[in-house]
Amino acid sequence: MNTEALFESLIDGILETGYGVVDSFLAPNEVVALRNRLQKRQAAGQFREAGIGRAADQSGQAAVEKAIRGDEILWLDVATVTPEESAFLERIDQFIGYVNRTCYLGLRDSELHYARYPAGTFYKRHLDRFRSDSRRRLSVVCYLNDNWQPTDGGQLAVYLPQPDGSEQTTLIEPVGGRLVCFDSGLLEHEVLPASRDRLSITGWLRTD
């Protein structure tokens, strides 16, 4: 699939089912490069335990609450970006441009972080936008795992309200190179515990 077809498939998924998934948002060599970079940065002590609540964005120190969320994160920073990271940011910017041209969402920028869920950790069911003044419009999660197996756990569970009032749960495996995208204010979701470290870049495309 070419880049525009990937983008279109993400948008179609969001409009039709509430979330979009594409499997080769990153090529295998790009996954390896970003995973290596994540691991170097982690070994250098750059990661921090993630927080929850309204300061859980780039701006502030949110409360760490391991019973809700156990990942460690590192915000991508244009000031310290490496070539593989800058290629990723470039692809996200292209996606923002595509969404703005085709859906008029008025996306302005993005905030993205590496995330590492150590074995046994999880992120309980939540929404990514919890206050009306949040700029977060679309959530993106791009997985960096090598050879992820269903028995490794760590699925992204998405909860989809049905027209009859019931709810459908879909599980998405965090397979390397796969990107998931959804409306930050609408889709409730959860990260199930994994039996090995689970790696990703997660972020938000923001309006003004």
Is residue 128 part of the contact set for Mn ion (CB under 5 A)? yes
Pick what 200 binds: Mn ion, ligand OGA, none; C-beta below 5 to 8 Å, kind-dependent. Answer: ligand OGA
Handedness of CA 57, 77, 135, 183 (dihedral sign): negative
Residue entry with tokens 């703005």: 100
Task: Please give the full DSSP string across 25-62, using - where no structure is assigned.
Answer: SS-HHHHHHHHHHHHHHHHTT--EE--BSTTTTTTS-P
CA-based radius of gyration for the chain: 16
Tokens encoding 124: 């309980």
State which H helix or E strand residue 96 sits in: helix 83-103
Is residue 200 part of the contact set for ligand OGA (CB under 6 A)? yes
Site residues for ligand OGA, window 43-102 (CB under 6 A)?
A: none
What is the maximal distance between C-alpha atoms in the chain?
51
Interaction mask 165-184, ligand OGA, x per CB under 6 A: ---------x----------
Integer Cα distance of 75 and 184 in angstroms: 18
Is residue 71 part of the contact set for Mn ion (CB under 5 A)? no
Selected binder of ligand OGA within 30, 72, 85, 128 (CB under 6 A): 128
Which residue lies nearest ligand OGA, judged by its C-beta? 156
Integer Cα distance of 109 and 204 in angstroms: 8
Which range of residues in 96-104, 126-134, 176-184, 192-200 is near Mn ion by CB under 5 A? 126-134
Pick what 92 binds: ligand OGA, Mn ion, none; C-beta below 5 to 8 Å, kind-dependent. Answer: none
Pick what 156 binds: Mn ion, ligand OGA, none; C-beta below 5 to 8 Å, kind-dependent. Answer: ligand OGA
Pick what 191 binds: Mn ion, ligand OGA, none; C-beta below 5 to 8 Å, kind-dependent. Answer: ligand OGA
Q: Which residues contact 33 (CB under 8 A, 6 or more apart)?
A: 84
Three-state DSSP state, 68: coil
Our measurement of the distance from residue 50's CA atom to the centroid of its chain's CA atoms, rounded to an integer in Å, reads 14
Pick what 30 binds: ligand OGA, Mn ion, none; C-beta below 5 to 8 Å, kind-dependent. Answer: none
Is residue 35 part of the contact set for ligand OGA (CB under 6 A)? no
Nearer to ligand OGA, 99 or 179 (CB): 179
Which range of residues in 4-12, 19-27, 122-130, 172-180 is near Mn ion by CB under 5 A? 122-130
Q: Could you list the residues that contact Mn ion (CB under 5 A)?
A: 128
